[in-house]
Amino acid sequence: MTYVEFLEAKRFTAPDVGVTVDPAALHSKMFDFQRALTAWALRKGRAAIFADTGLGKTLMQIEWLRAAGERPLILAPLAVAFQIVEEAREKWGIEATYAPDRESLPAEGIAVTNYERLGKFDPSVFDAVSLDESSILKGYASKTRKALTAAFAATPYRLCCTATPAPNDVIEITNHSEFLGVMSGRAVLSTFFVHVANKQYEHTGWRLKRHGRESFYKWMSTWAAYVKNPADLGFPGDEYVLPPLDVRPHVVETDFVPEGQLFATGVNGVSEQSAVRRGTMDKRVSLSVDLVMAEPDQQFIAWCGLNDEATAMARAIGADAVNVQGSDSPESKADALLAFARGDIRVLVTKPTIAGFGMNFQNCARQVFVGMNYSYEQYYQAIRRCWRYGQQSPVRVDVVVSDLEQDIYESVRRKELVAHETAENVIRHSRGYTAREITGGETVTETGTERETVSGESWDVHLGDSVEVLDELEPDSVGLSVFSPPFLSLFQYSQSARDVGNSQGVKQFLDHLGRITDGVYRALMPGRNICVHVQNVATTKTHDGVLGLYDLRGDFIRHYIDRGFIYHGEATIDKNPQVQAVRLKALGLLFITKNERDAALLRPGQADYLLIFKKPGENTTPVRCDVTDEEWIEWAHPSWKGYDAESEDVKTLEAPPGVWYDIRETDVLNSKEGKGKEDEKHICPLQLGLIRRCVRLWSNPGELVLDPFSGIGSTGYESIKVGRRYVGIELKPSYHRAAVKNMKRAEAQAGGDLFAWAAEREEVPA
C-alpha cells in the first residue's frame, strides 16, 4: 500500500455494503435527485436520508426497500403508517400492507407497521428495514431506541428517513450512527466531540472538536445525506421554494395570578406553567376559535396542549371540527387524520405529540397554537406539517398565548433562530461532500502538504510530513534521535490524516508511526540510539467504557523491536501528582475521590518513560560524551538527586533504579508561541533537562540530532546549545514557525560557535 493509499484509508468512512442499481431504472415518477439519493442509499446498504419536508422521503424509502430486500419492513408513527400505505398504492401503484402483527404480514410486497407494534414481530424475518420519522432515535436512554437498535442489529440493510434532524443535537446523530451500525455512539462522541461545561452547549454538553469539523462532515457524508433543497446535491432546485410563512403572535391579557404570588410575575417551573395554562384557557380558546371561524373557507389545524383545550375548541367550532385524542383507537386516529389530509374535515383539533410528526398536510395553510410550551421541536415539526415543499399557498400560523406566557413564546423563537443558523452551517459545510457522494463525483483525497525548510548555521527545520522528509535524509547520517510521538489524540492539534495522532485505534496509530520509525532507522548510524518519550494513556468511559490506563509504553517497546531496533534501556521520569490532579482533574488523584466518593478509584500519578533503542551494527564512531564522572555517578546511581517540589532546592531522594527525579516539569520552552486558536489542548513540550541529558550522553559534539516530531523545537534548542547540529520535522505550520524562532535563540546563545554550549542550569527564555 502506498503512503497516499494509507492516508486515504485513515479517512473515517462508512463502507458500501449494499447493492448497485442504475438510477434510471428506479420508479418513473421519481425526480432525478430522488433517484440519485435512493441509488446512493442502496449502494451504502445502511444509510440515512435527512431530507427536508416535502422532498419525497416516502417514495424514496419505498423504492429503496423494493430493491434492497425480499422481506422489507417500514416502521413509522401510527397515522403515518396508514398514510404510507395509502400513498404507495394510490400515488405510485406499489403494493404495501399495514400489518399490526406477524400473523398479518403479507406474502409479498412491503409490510408497514407502527413503532408501538415492534414487539409483535420477529425482526430476524426481515432483510431490509426503514425507519420513517427516525428522529424517534433521539432519546438516548429511551427503551424504544434501545429496542430498535438491538432488534435490527443483524439486519443487512437499514435505512433511516426523517426531515433534517437538529444538527446541533449530538445525541440524535450518534443514535442514528449506532442504529445503522456505522459507529457506536460512544465512539462518535470520543472521536469528533469534546464534553464541555458551557451554556452554549448545555442542551447536550458536547461540541465538535475544532480540528474535527471537516473530518466529521466528510464522515457523515459517507452515510447520511443532509438535503434542504435538491440544489444542495447539484440538481435544479427552483421548484423547491417554500411559500411565505407568516407567524402571528396574539397575547391575551388576563387577570390570572398563580397560586403563591401576590401578583403575576410570569411562569416558573413545569407545575406553574400547567397552572397558568389552565387558568388562562378560556380566553385563549375564545380567541383561537374566533381566528378559525373568521376564515370559513380555510382548513385549520388547532394545536392544543391540554385535553380540556381540545374539547373546548371542538365544541365551540361545532360540526366542522374533529378532535383527535390520545385515548382514541389507532384506527379512528388514522381515519380522522387521513380524512383531514384528503380535505374531508375542515378543522383538525389535536396535539403536536399525536399528529405533529410525519404527516403530510399540504392541503392546509392555516394553523393556530392554542398556547405554547418550551419545546421548539414540537413547535417546528407541527408547523412543517403544512409549511413544506408542495404547499401551494402562503402559510399563516397564529400563536395564542396569555400575557404570562410571552417568555415561553420568545424562548421558542430564540431556539428557532439558533437552530436555523446551525442547520445552515451544517449544510454549508457538508454540501460538497454530500454532493460528491450522491452523484459519484471525485472523492477528495489526502494529497500533498505544505513544505518549507528554514536553515541556520547548524540546523535545518522542515515543515512537512516526516514520512516524506525522512526519505530525503542521507542514510546513516544521524548520530542520535530524541523525540516524543503524539499519543492517540484525535483532532487535538490538526485535522490532517498525516497527523499520526489522528488515527482510528492503536493498530492504525502504530502502522502510521511505523512508516516514520522506518525512516528514522534508515537515517540513524549503526550502533546508535533513539530516545523515545512516552506516557501511558488514560482510558475514559466515553471512549473505552472503563476508567483506567492503557499500556502504550508496552506497545512502543514491541513496536520498535518489531521495526528492527534493540531494546537498550529505559528511565522513569517522576511527575508531581499534585500538578496532575490540578491540571488534569484526574479522578484517581483528587481528595474528593478519597474523602467523598470511592477510594477504590485512587491510583498513583502517571510517570513519563524514556525508552532507549539501539540500531544494530557496529558504531564506527564511538561516542565520547562530555559527561563528567561525577555526573555519571549521579545519573547511574539508583539514588538520584532531585528538586523539591516547592523550593526546587537540591536534595537527596532515595529512588528505585532508573527513576530520574531531577527532570523539572516546568523546564520547557514557551508553548504559547506555537498554539493555534483551533487547538483543543496546549502543546506539552518535552522537558529541556531530559533532552539535554540524552544529547550529552549519547552523541558527540558536532553530530546530527534528529527529531521527526519537532513541535516547537525543544530538541533542537538543547542540541544547538550543547554544540550539536540539528534536523527537525514538523507538520503543523504554527509549531514550525515557533521552532524556527527557538533555533535562532539557541544559536544566538551559543554565540555562533558550533562547539560552545550553555551551562547546564542556564535559564530558559520565556
How do residues 447-481 score in pLDDT, each as one tens digit?
Answer: 567 899 999 999 999 999 999 999 999 999 999 99
Beta strands in 535-618 (DSSP E): 537-539, 548-550, 566-573, 608-614
d(CA 158, CA 17): 10
d(CA 504, CA 485): 16
Structure confidence by residue, pLDDT tens digits, 289-308: 999 999 999 999 999 999 99
Which residue type, as a one-letter code, is found at position 417?
A: L
Contact between 707 and 483 under an 8 Å Cβ cutoff? The reply is yes
Which has the closest alpha carbon to 390: 136, 113, 27, 58?
A: 58
CATH 3.40.50.300 fits 245-430, yes or no: yes
d(CA 337, CA 339): 5
Beta strands in 394-451 (DSSP E): 395-402
Residue 656 has pLDDT above 60, yes or no: no
pLDDT given at position 597: 81
pLDDT band at 517; cut points 50, 70, 90: very high
d(CA 273, CA 254): 15
Q: Considering only residues 657 and 248, tell me which one the structure prediction assigns the higher pLDDT.
A: 248
Place of cell 396508514: 82
Residue 646 has pLDDT above 80, yes or no: no
Which has the closest alpha carbon to 217: 462, 511, 63, 429?
A: 429
Mean of pLDDT values over 722-734: 95
8-233: CATH homologous superfamily?
Tandem AAA-ATPase domain (3.40.50.10810)
Q: What's the topology of domain 452-749?
A: Rossmann fold (3.40.50)
d(CA 447, CA 463): 16
pLDDT band at 653; cut points 50, 70, 90: very low
C-alpha atoms less than 13 angstroms from C-alpha of 491 in its C-beta half-sphere: 22
Structure confidence by residue, pLDDT tens digits, 346-397: 999 999 989 988 889 999 999 999 988 888 888 988 999 999 988 999 999 9
pLDDT given at position 562: 97
Q: Considering only residues 554 and 629, tell me which one the structure prediction assigns the higher pLDDT.
A: 554
Helix (H) or strand (E) holding 543: helix 541-544
The yes-or-no answer to whether 245-430 and 452-749 have a common fold is yes
Structure confidence by residue, pLDDT tens digits, 182-230: 998 888 888 888 877 654 444 457 888 888 888 888 898 899 998 888 9
Contact between 59 and 314 under an 8 Å Cβ cutoff? The reply is no
Structure confidence by residue, pLDDT tens digits, 117-126: 999 999 999 9
Contact between 708 and 636 under an 8 Å Cβ cutoff? The reply is no
Tell me the residue length of the chain.
766
For the chain, which residues make up each domain, given as ranges? Answer: 8-233, 245-430, 452-749
Which residue type, as a one-letter code, is found at position 85?
A: V
Find the range with the poorest average confidence among 150-154, 389-393, 651-655, 708-712.
651-655
User: What does pLDDT average to over the chain?
Assistant: 85
Please report, rounded to a whole number, the percentage of residues in the chain having pLDDT higher than 70: 85
Contact between 686 and 487 under an 8 Å Cβ cutoff? The reply is no
pLDDT given at position 492: 79
Contact between 301 and 366 under an 8 Å Cβ cutoff? The reply is yes
Please report, rounded to a whole number, the percentage of residues in the chain having pLDDT higher than 90: 52
Q: Based on the number of CB atoms within 10 Å of its own CB, is 468 exposed (0-12), middle (13-18) or buried (19 or more)?
A: middle
Contact between 458 and 720 under an 8 Å Cβ cutoff? The reply is yes
What is the full DSSP assignment across 208-237?
Answer: E-GGGHHHHHHHHHTTEEEESSGGGGTS--
pLDDT band at 651; cut points 50, 70, 90: very low
